[in-house]
Amino acid sequence: MKYPVLRCVVASVLLAAPVANAIGADYWYAGVGLGYGKIEFYPADFSSNGAFAETVRDADLGFTGALGVQFNKNWGLELNFIQLGKFSYKYTQGAAVQEDIYEVSGWGLSLIPTVPLTRNFSIFGRLGALASQTRNTIRNPFVNGVPTASITPVQVNETSFLTGFGAQYFLNRDFGMRVEYQNLGRVGSSGCATCTGRANAQFLSASALFPF
């Protein structure tokens, strides 16, 4: 650009634009997103110890939603819902195949410590509790090694620690984006006839945020 003064003015306007559109330090927001759910089955609850051939599907597409309040630039509180996905553990013996369909969802309540890096961009953590619901539906079950007609699906509710971290960027006062990793801790239960079996659960997501 030919004129240095004009160049400085243009640069100042471009740099100031994100600040002018940035969201304030305190606000409410809603969010919705898609994610990648992954679990790790407890071998003590699922492994046949070599009695059957085993096939595991431990990852699936899930979704999440959130409603939160940012009290100030450093602290927020959020209620979030996670549908982690549908997973399976298969046991094969000859032509017979038993499949445990394992589904996990839950509601979390968390403190959100936030570190602003610019007016638009921040990193954050998550520390709270998750009330999870785990359901195990068994298809073509074996009972003492013999195929059986059906077993009633079992469902349990458990509470675990919820932790995570991520980053978010607000394009303007009305729209932002977030990527986040969450560790849901242990879900499911074991040691009883109506237990689902246990697993460690994790969730990686990308969400849209709508301040209001």
Q: Is the separation of the CB atoms in 134 and 101 below 8 Å? A: no
Across the chain, mean pLDDT equals 88
User: Whole-angstrom Cα distance, residue 44 to residue 46?
Assistant: 6
User: Whole-angstrom Cα distance, residue 73 to residue 51?
Assistant: 56
Q: What is the pTM of this model?
A: 0.83
| pLDDT higher than threshold 70 for residue 190 | yes
To the nearest whole percent, how much of the chain has pLDDT over 90? 74
Tell which phi-psi region holds residue 50, choosing left (phi > 0), alpha (psi between -120 and 50) or beta: left
Mean pLDDT of the 16-31 span = 68
Q: Is the separation of the CB atoms in 62 and 34 below 8 Å? A: yes
Q: Of 157, 159, 140, 178, which Cα lies nearest the Cα of 32?
A: 178
Judged by average pLDDT, the poorest of 66-70, 136-140, 163-167 is 136-140
pLDDT at 212: 94
Q: Is the separation of the CB atoms in 65 and 28 below 8 Å? A: no
Backbone φ and ψ for 7, nearest 5 degrees, come out as: -60, -40
Contacts of 194 (CB under 8 A, 6+ apart): 154, 156
**For residue 55, what are its two tokens?**
């096939």
To the nearest whole percent, how much of the chain has pLDDT over 70? 84
User: Whole-angstrom Cα distance, residue 54 to residue 6?
Assistant: 70
| pLDDT higher than threshold 70 for residue 8 | no
| pLDDT higher than threshold 80 for residue 82 | yes
Q: Could you give the 3-state DSSP secondary structure of residue 43? A: helix
pLDDT at 39: 98
pLDDT at 145: 56
Mean pLDDT of the 78-106 span = 94
pLDDT at 5: 40
User: Whole-angstrom Cα distance, residue 79 to residue 68?
Assistant: 6
Mean pLDDT of the 56-79 span = 97
pLDDT at 168: 98
* Confidence at 25, pLDDT banded by 50, 70, 90: confident
| pLDDT higher than threshold 60 for residue 6 | no
Q: What is the pLDDT of residues 95-116, one digit of tens each?
A: 888 999 999 999 999 999 999 9
